[in-house]
Structure 1
Amino acid sequence: MFSFQPIELVGYAASILIVISLTMTDMYKLRIINSIGCLMFVIYGLNVGAYPVALANAIIIIINIYNLYKLRGSDNKS
C-alpha cells in the first residue's frame, strides 16, 4: 500500500528549511538556514543514491560558507 522510509523525513525537513531560508531578509540567517537545509539534502541524496542532489547541495554549502566569510569580513570593517 504506502511505504514510508525514515530518510524521507530528512528530505522533507531539508525542503522546508530551504523554503524558510528564502523568506528571510537577513542574509546571514538566510545563509545559515540554507546551509543546514543543503546539508540535510546531502545526507538525503547520499542515502537514496541521488548523487547529483548531494553534489549540487555540497557545492551550495561551499558557496554559502564563502559568502558568510565575506559577510563577517564586511561587518568587521564598519
Structure 2
Amino acid sequence: MSPEVLWTSFGWLGSLVIVLSLSQTKILRLRVLNLVGCTLAMAYNAPLGVWPTVGLNATLALINVIHLIRLGRLRRRAAAAPAPDAAP
C-alpha cells in the first residue's frame, strides 16, 4: 500500500470515528470517541494546511475535554455521596 493511500485512510478513519461517536447513546462514550476522532482529524489536516478544519476540531476537542472533566467530577461526587436510607 502506498504512503498516500495510508495517509488518506488515516483521514477517513478520523471521520469515521467522529460519525461513530455521534451514534452513541452513552454520553461518556460519545465524548471519548469524539475526542479521538477530532484528534485524528487534526493530525491529518494540520500537515495538509487545512487550518479551518484543524481549528474546528481543536475547538471540538477542547469542548470534549471540558465535558469529560465535568463528567469525572460528577461521577466522583456521586460515588462519595452517602446512599439514601432504605425505606422500611
Task: Give the TM-score of the pair, scaled to structure 1.
Answer: 0.88
User: Distance between the aligned counterparts of 1:10 and 1:39, measured in 2?
Assistant: 11
What is the match of residue 72 of structure 1? Answer: 72
- The amino acid of 1:28's aligned partner reads L
Task: Identify unmatched segments of 5+ residues in structure 1.
Answer: none
User: Distance between the aligned counterparts of 1:76 and 1:56, measured in 2?
Assistant: 30
Task: Give the TM-score of the pair, scaled to structure 2.
Answer: 0.79
Task: Identify unmatched segments of 5+ residues in structure 2.
Answer: 79-88
- The number of residues matched between the two structures is 75
Q: Secondary structure of 1:42's partner?
A: helix
User: Distance between the aligned counterparts of 1:18 and 1:46, measured in 2?
Assistant: 17
CA contact (8 A) 1:7 1:47 kept: no
What is the match of residue 59 of structure 2? Answer: 59
Identity of aligned residues (%): 28
